[in-house]
Every structure is written in C-alpha cells, then in structure tokens.
C-alpha cells in the first residue's frame, strides 16, 4: 500500500538542463516536494547534466529560480552529475567485471546499417548484440588499437521484468522488447540510465516520482539495481499532461515556462494550487488549497492514472481568485514591479507607493494577471490621454448635448472643494436629472473624458483617485475636443 511508509522519505527532482522548466517539469517537482513535506522527508535537487551537447544556457538558473519563486525549497542540492563522473565510470567497470555489461566497439556506420535493416523489416530499432560475444582478448586488442567504445547493458533476451508502480500498479515488460542500452558513452560520460540509478542509490532515494514518459526506462533501471545488488526505490509515474484538445501540452495551449508565468503576473500560490490539480485531486469538488493544506492532504493514492488536462482558463480564474483574496496593501506591493515595468516611459519613476495603493485598490477586483495592470491603470499615471472623440457621445445623445454635459460638469466641479467619491456623486447625480439625461449617459461622457476609456473601475472612485487638477484638466480638454467635433461636423453624431 502506498501509504505504508517506513523510515525517512527521500525524494528528488532530477531535471536535465536541456531547456527552461515548463509546467510538466514543475508539476513533477511539486509532487515530489509535497510528498517529502507531507512525510517530513527530504527533497533533493539533482541536475542531470551529463549530456553536454543538449544543455541550454541559463537552464539551471531558471530551474533554481522557478523552484524558489514557487517556494519549493530543497534540503540538498543542487547536485550536479557532471561533477560525479568517476562514480559512474567505476559503476560501469563494476558491471563489466560482473559480466552484466560489455564494451561495444561498433562504429556509427555499422549501427546505422543495423537500424536500416531493421526498419526494412519493419522492426523496432535495436542493437543486434554484435559485441556481446567479443572475447576478453578482442576487447583488449580493440582498446589497445584506440577504437572508441561504449558500455552496454547485457539485457536478458528472455523472460519478463516486473515492478510495482505506486500509481500504475503492477507493470510487466517482456525483456525481448528491450535493448542493450548504452550505459557509458564513448566520451566516458554516463547516459541518463546509469547516472540516474547510481545517484538514486547513492543518495538513498526512497521514492522515484517522475513523469510517465520515463516508465519505459524503468525495467532497465530495475535490472540495473539487481545487477548492482542494490534494492530499488519505489517508483511512481505521474500522469501525462495534455492540452484541452487532448494532444501533448505545448505553447499552443498557453503553457509556458515557469519564469514566463511569473513575468505574466501569475501569483506563485495560484500557480502552485493549479499545478497540484494536474493529476492529483482530494475529491471531486475541492479546488482551492493553500500550500500548507496541500502538504497536509497530499497523497499518492489520489494521483490519477489518466492524463491530466491543462486548462489555461481555469488557471486565469484561479489567479483572479487569489488576487482578490490578497489584502489590498499586499496586492499593491505585488503590483508595483509590474507597473514599474509596464507603464509608459513618460511616467516618472519611482512610482509613489501610496498612489499605487489607491489605484490598486480600484483594480484588484478586475485583475486576472498582474501584467494587465499597466494597461488597466495607464490613465491614472500619464499626463495626457488619447481617445476617439466619438466615444464620449453616448447612445441617444449627440455632440451638442455631450458638449453641454461637459460644460455643466466642469462648472459644477470647479467649485467643489471636498474632492472625494461621495461629494462627486452628490454633485453629478442631480445634474443628470436637471439635464433630463440618464446617469448612464452622463457617466459615459464623463468616464471617457477623464480616463479615455469606456470601461473603468467605479467612476467617482476613479475621479477621487485621479484628483481634482487632473480631472478638471481632462474635462477642459474633452470640452475642446467635442467642440472641435461639433463645429467641425455641424453636429458630431
Ligand atoms: N533527467 C530526467 C528528466 O529530465 C529525470 C527523470 C527521472 O526523474 O528519472 O526528467
């Protein structure tokens, strides 16, 4: 049973730095982290960087940064496999001496011929075992001749390999479908298989929780453990993540690297919650979990076997929920760097944190991601706003009426001393009645005149924050604009 755990849990997140971590990688990290924290165990970060050719500059940094941003703290690491090469080389020697691995001197050309022949026969690509039967003296002679070689595992050709998967249950692979996998490459770097197994053993890993795509490597790993005489860790393969169209998750589905989610203004606690639900569920209802709640309730029993579906709309919804739940000061604090980054250059920096808090208070309700804030709040910060004059003219009114509204509003507000939302409202509402216009009409004109937008936070609160000088300037400017429109076109409608 999955939950019968004896002794300290030690799990690892073992990314290869071949790209910036994306949703799938971090979901693996998260499940390992939750499992470790739930059981009071250790979470280790191991960088599997033995394939120098496939490494991407900056990938390690973005792995570490992504984990830190989400608060997935590790107890050991990062440990780099590239710094442990002698360990893998001596492990390969051990296997050769025991006769369970052998040196293969086949040239790339020969291997290509084997592949072509198998393809012609519509058989899966597999090494034909040519070097299995080399005698020790042949091997020595080839080595003396300086012929490059790899070390391969002598995979049994008959029988089955079984293991119990914590998520999938009992799994069996027929050995005949497996290959004589390479363990050590000709440059004496280990392959994933060798380094991964040696390290999981050396680091006393108790549970290997990794993405489904690795399950086909597990029979080899199980055989390697037995060849070394080590007892294997428990294995659990996490379900795939698909896009809503049920194809493999990609950028097309709005999935990006973790760092990009940060740049786009997702809150780490929202993304963490969202990722936890990709393949795990407590029940069929609960969706919102804090980090501590997740640690308390997470278990492998509730990780699904079937693929999880990544739904960007749900992530946006969830982010909005987390944003609305923030105390306003905290929301403002988190908004500040986004405003700083996204507001036009003309806005003077540093931004005034008090003003930002007042603006943020008005926008919190309508924000889904923090990267929207620059655009949503621009009119609060810039000096002059641009808008098509016609947007000031509401339905059922013409330019002349709009001009009248603006001039009345201006004259009423010029004399207003207490510039706050209730006072503004108490001045403007009666004006609508006296002009025999609906509040909706008057508010539309006013809203566009002071913000340049047709959709904004509540009008009077907005005007309150904008302040008297800015509002009056904008109203005067609006009056000029509408005046030009009316006189220019005769009517303006
Ligand atoms: N280096 C592998 C990866 O990039 C590790 C897989 C495993 O956890 O065994 O995902």
Question: Model confidence over 434-478: pLDDT tens digits?
Answer: 999 999 999 999 999 999 999 999 999 999 999 999 999 999 999
62 and 125 inside one domain: no
pLDDT of 1 > 90? The answer is no
Nearest CA to ligand 1 atom 8: 210
Phi, psi of 76 (to 5 degrees): -140, 145
Among 122, 248, 251, 468, which one carries the catalytic annotation? 251
Q: Can you tell me the mean pLDDT for 316-341?
A: 98
Residues near 371 by beta carbon (within 8 Å), at least 6 away in sequence = 263, 264, 265, 338, 342
Distance CA 104, CA 93 (A): 13
DSSP alpha helices (H): ranges in 255-398? 258-263, 268-276, 291-297, 312-325, 328-342, 353-363, 373-381
- Each residue's pLDDT tens digit, 175-204: 999 999 999 999 999 999 999 999 999 999
71 and 99 inside one domain: no
398 and 456 inside one domain: yes
Say how many Å lie between the CA of residue 181 and the centre of ligand 1. Answer: 17
Cβ–ligand 1 distance for 210 under 6 Å, the answer yes
- CA 99 and chain centroid, separation: 45
- What is the number of domains present in the chain? 4
**Is the distance from CB of 433 to CB of 425 less than 8 angstroms?**
no
Say how many Å lie between the CA of residue 116 and the centre of ligand 1. Answer: 29
**What's the pLDDT at 491?**
46
Cβ–ligand 1 distance for 191 under 6 Å, the answer no
Task: Tell which atom from ligand 1 comes closest to the C-alpha of 210.
Answer: 8
**What's the pLDDT at 488?**
82
90 and 174 inside one domain: yes
pLDDT of 490 > 60? The answer is no
Domain span at 364: 327-381
What is the pLDDT of the chain when averaged over all its residues? 95
Say how many Å lie between the CA of residue 386 and the centre of ligand 1. Answer: 52
Looking at the domain assignment, is residue 214 inside a domain? no
For residue 133, the 8-state DSSP code is G
Task: Tell which atom from ligand 1 comes closest to the C-alpha of 15.
Answer: 4
Phi, psi of 193 (to 5 degrees): -55, -50
Q: Can you tell me the mean pLDDT for 33-44?
A: 98
Beta strands 160-165; 169-174: pairing state:
antiparallel
**What's the pLDDT at 489?**
55
124 and 178 inside one domain: yes
313 and 337 inside one domain: no
Active site residue 440: no
The percentage of residues in the chain with a pLDDT greater than 70, rounded to a whole number, is 98
Query: Considering all CA atoms of the chain, what is the largest pairwise distance in Å, rounded to the nearest integer?
Result: 108
Domain CATH code at residue 14? 3.40.50.620
Cβ–ligand 1 distance for 196 under 6 Å, the answer yes
Whole-model pTM: value is 0.93
Say how many Å lie between the CA of residue 92 and the centre of ligand 1. Answer: 20
């Amino acid at each position: 049973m999955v939950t019968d755990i004896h002794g300290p849990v030690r799990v690892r997140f073992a990314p290869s730095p071949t790209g910036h971590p994306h949703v799938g990688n971090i979901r693996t990290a998260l499940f390992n982290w939750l499992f470790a924290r739930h059981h009071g165990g250790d979470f280790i970060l191991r960088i599997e960087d033995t394939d120098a050719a496939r490494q991407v500059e900056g990938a390690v940094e973005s792995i570490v940064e992504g984990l830190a941003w989400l608060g997935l703290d590790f107890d050991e690491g990062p440990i780099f496999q590239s710094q442990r090469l002698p360990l893998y080389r001596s492990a390969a020697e051990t296997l050769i001496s025991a006769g369970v691995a052998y040196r293969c001197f086949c040239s790339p050309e020969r291997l290509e011929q084997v592949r072509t022949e198998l393809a012609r026969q519509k058989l899966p690509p597999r090494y034909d075992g040519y070097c299995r039967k080399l005698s020790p003296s042949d091997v020595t002679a080839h080595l003396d001749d300086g012929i490059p070689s790899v070390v391969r595992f002598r995979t049994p050709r008959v029988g089955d390999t079984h293991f119990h998967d914590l998520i999938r249950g009992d799994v069996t692979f027929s050995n005949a479908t497996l290959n004589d996998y390479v363990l050590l490459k000709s440059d004496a770097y280990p392959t994933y298989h060798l380094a991964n197994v040696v390290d999981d053993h050396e680091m006393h890993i108790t549970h290997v929780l990794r993405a489904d795509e690795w399950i086909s490597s597990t029979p080899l790993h199980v055989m390697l453990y037995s060849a070394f005489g080590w007892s294997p860790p428990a294995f659990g393969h996490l379900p795939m993540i698909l896009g809503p169209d049920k194809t493999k998750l990609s950028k097309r589905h709005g999935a990006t690297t973790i760092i990009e989610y940060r740049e786009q203004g997702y809150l780490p606690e929202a993304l963490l919650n969202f990722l936890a639900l990709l393949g795990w569920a407590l029940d069929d209802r609960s969706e919102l979990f804090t980090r501590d709640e997740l640690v308390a309730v997470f278990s492998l029993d509730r990780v699904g076997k079937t693929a999880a579906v990544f739904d960007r709309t749900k992530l946006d919804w969830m982010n909005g929920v987390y944003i609305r739940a923030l105390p306003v000061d905290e929301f403002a604090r988190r908004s500040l760097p986004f405003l700083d980054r996204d507001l036009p250059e003309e806005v003077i920096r540093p931004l005034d944190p008090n003003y930002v808090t007042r603006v943020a208070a008005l926008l919190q309700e309508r924000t889904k991601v923090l990267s929207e804030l620059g655009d949503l709040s621009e009119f609060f910060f810039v000096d002059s706003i641009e808008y098509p004059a016609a947007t000031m003219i509401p339905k059922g009114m013409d330019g002349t009426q709009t001009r009248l509204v603006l001039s009345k509003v201006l004259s009423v507000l010029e004399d207003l001393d207490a510039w706050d939302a209730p006072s503004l409202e108490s001045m403007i509402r009666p004006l609508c009645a006296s002009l025999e216009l609906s509040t909706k009409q008057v508010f539309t004109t006013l809203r566009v005149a002071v913000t340049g937008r047709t959709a904004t936070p509540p009008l009077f609160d907005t005007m309150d924050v904008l302040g008297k000088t800015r509002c009056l300037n904008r109203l005067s400017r609006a009056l000029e604009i509408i005046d030009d429109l009316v006189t220019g076109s005769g009517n303006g409608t």
